[in-house]
Amino acid sequence: MPTTRRKGDKGFTLVEIIISVGVLCLVCVLIMRLFILSGEVRNKAYDKEMASVKASNAVEAFRISRVPGAIGENTIDSDSLDIEKNGDAIIARQYFNGDWNLPQPGEELVFVVTTVVSPVREAIVTYGSITKNGSNPKINISGLYSIKSTAGYIDTGNENGGILAEYGTMKNYVFGEGP
């Protein structure tokens, strides 16, 4: 027995179903893109936060070591520290992998924290030398110094020259002679 249709009963046409599935797919793609974008924003925020922490820690490591030769002993891993003297300033660089951990041999270096310890021009400053005894770098200096640390990408092709965070002392700190 055939079914009879009432005048107001209609089903969806094939065109209506295709259009609704297309709109549903478009909405799903937009929502997935928002999830991906939020992950990228979270990663950038994490990198900026870690850069700020590492730059702050580097300055504090220099501050707490009354003797710059100690380079924040027990605070900074001296094996991964690259120290150079540039004119009156001492520049220390510490490199990190993409997870902000100290790199293993052969691992790609992504981030760098650069700390500059420079004398205050008005102060009487005695300069010494930089020596590396085993894995423990020594800086023999005394006087009033300012400390500035920047953290960011090694590759300066990134936005803002690769700098993610800066931290420095507004006051100057007195260091004694290194051992």
In a domain, 94, yes or no: yes
In a domain, 74, yes or no: yes
pLDDT given for residue 73 in this prediction: 46
Q: How many domains in the chain?
A: 1
Burial grade of 109 (CB within 10 A; 0-12, 13-18, 19 or more): middle
Name the token pair of 104.
């293993």
Neighbouring-strand partners of residue 119: 145
In a domain, 62, yes or no: yes
- Using 70 as the pLDDT threshold, list the residues of the chain that sit under it: 1-9, 65-80, 121-143, 156-161, 170-179
In a domain, 169, yes or no: yes
In a domain, 46, yes or no: yes
Burial grade of 16 (CB within 10 A; 0-12, 13-18, 19 or more): exposed
In a domain, 37, yes or no: yes
In a domain, 7, yes or no: no
Domain of 122, in residue numbers = 30-175
Dist. CA 71–CA 78, nearest whole Å = 8
- Output the pTM of the full model: 0.66
In a domain, 60, yes or no: yes
